[in-house]
Amino acid sequence: MSGVAAVCRGGWERVSALLPGRADWATMRRQPRRDLLAGLTVAVVALPLALGFGVSSGLGAAAGLATAIVAGALAALLGGSNLQVSGPTGAMTVVLVPIVHRFGPGGVLTVGLIAGVLLVALALARAGRYVRYVPAPVVEGFTAGIAAVIFLQQVPAALGVPAPEGEKVTAIAWQAVVDFAAQPQWTALALALGVATVMLIGARWKPGVPFSLLAVAAVTVVAVVAHLDVARIGQLPATLPAPSLGFLDPAAVPMLLTSAVAVAALAALESLLSATVADGMTVGQRHDPDRELFGQGVANLVTPLFGGVPATAAIARTAVNVRTGAGSRLAALTHALVLALIMLAAAPLVAHIPLAALAGVLLATAIRMVEVSSLLALARSTRSDAVLMVLTAAATLALDLIAAVGIGLVLAAFLAVRKIARAATLEQVPLDVADHHAEEAALLAEHIVAYRFDGPLFFAAAHRFLLELTEVADVRVVILRMSRVSAVDGTGASVLRDAIERLEHRGITVYLSGVRPEHERALSAIGVLERLRAQGRLFAHTPDAITAARALLHRTGVLVSPEPALKAG
- Report residue 110's pLDDT band, with 50, 70 and 90 as the boundaries: very high
Across residues 510-517, what is the average pLDDT?
90
Residue 502: the pLDDT is 84
Instruction: Tell me the C-alpha distance between 413 and 190, whole Å.
Output: 46
Candidate from 167-176, 227-236, 306-315, 439-448 with smallest mean pLDDT: 439-448
Q: What is the CA radius of gyration of the chain?
A: 32
For the chain, percent of residues with pLDDT exceeding 90: 15
Candidate from 126-130, 146-150, 529-533, 556-560 with smallest mean pLDDT: 556-560
Phi, psi of 452 (to 5 degrees): -115, 130
Candidate from 423-427, 467-471, 529-533 with smallest mean pLDDT: 423-427
Closest C-alpha to 180, from 327, 385, 359, 422? 359
Residue 297: the pLDDT is 94
Closest C-alpha to 550, from 438, 400, 444? 444
Please count the other Cβ atoms lying within 10 Å of the Cβ belonging to residue 273.
18
pLDDT above 50: residue 563: no
Residue 435: the pLDDT is 47
Across residues 398-421, what is the average pLDDT?
71
pLDDT above 50: residue 569: no
**Contact between 309 and 57 (Cβ < 8 Å):** yes
Across residues 446-463, what is the average pLDDT?
73
pLDDT above 60: residue 433: no
Residue 422: the pLDDT is 62
- Report residue 439's pLDDT band, with 50, 70 and 90 as the boundaries: very low
pLDDT above 70: residue 329: yes
Instruction: Tell me the C-alpha distance between 115 and 471, whole Å.
Output: 56
Cα angle value 87/90/96 (rounded, 5°): 90
Q: What is the largest CA-CA distance in the chain?
A: 109
Put simply, whether the predicted model's pTM sits higher than 0.85 gets the answer: no
Query: Comparing 16 with 513, which gets the higher pLDDT?
Result: 513
Across residues 191-203, what is the average pLDDT?
89
Mean per-residue pLDDT of the chain: 80
SS3 call for 428 = strand
SS3 call for 550 = helix
* pLDDT per residue as tens digits for the range 333-354: 999 999 999 888 887 887 888 8
Residue 113: the pLDDT is 95
**Contact between 321 and 40 (Cβ < 8 Å):** no
Closest C-alpha to 366, from 144, 210, 160? 144
* pLDDT per residue as tens digits for the range 16-44: 777 777 777 888 888 888 888 888 878 87
Instruction: Tell me the C-alpha distance between 94 and 400, whole Å.
Output: 8
Which runs of E-coded beta strand occur in 108-254? none
- Report residue 13's pLDDT band, with 50, 70 and 90 as the boundaries: low
Across residues 310-323, what is the average pLDDT?
82
* pLDDT per residue as tens digits for the range 137-157: 777 787 788 778 778 888 888
pLDDT above 50: residue 232: yes
Residue 295: the pLDDT is 93
Please count the other Cβ atoms lying within 10 Å of the Cβ belonging to residue 515.
23
Beta strands at 312-313 and 86-87: parallel, antiparallel or unpaired: antiparallel
Closest C-alpha to 556, from 494, 508, 506, 497? 508
312 forms beta bridges with: 87
Candidate from 64-68, 108-112, 273-277, 393-397 with smallest mean pLDDT: 273-277
Instruction: Tell me the C-alpha distance between 97 and 93, whole Å.
Output: 6
Instruction: Tell me the C-alpha distance between 468 and 231, whole Å.
Output: 72
Residue 559: the pLDDT is 42
Which runs of E-coded beta strand occur in 301-344? 312-313
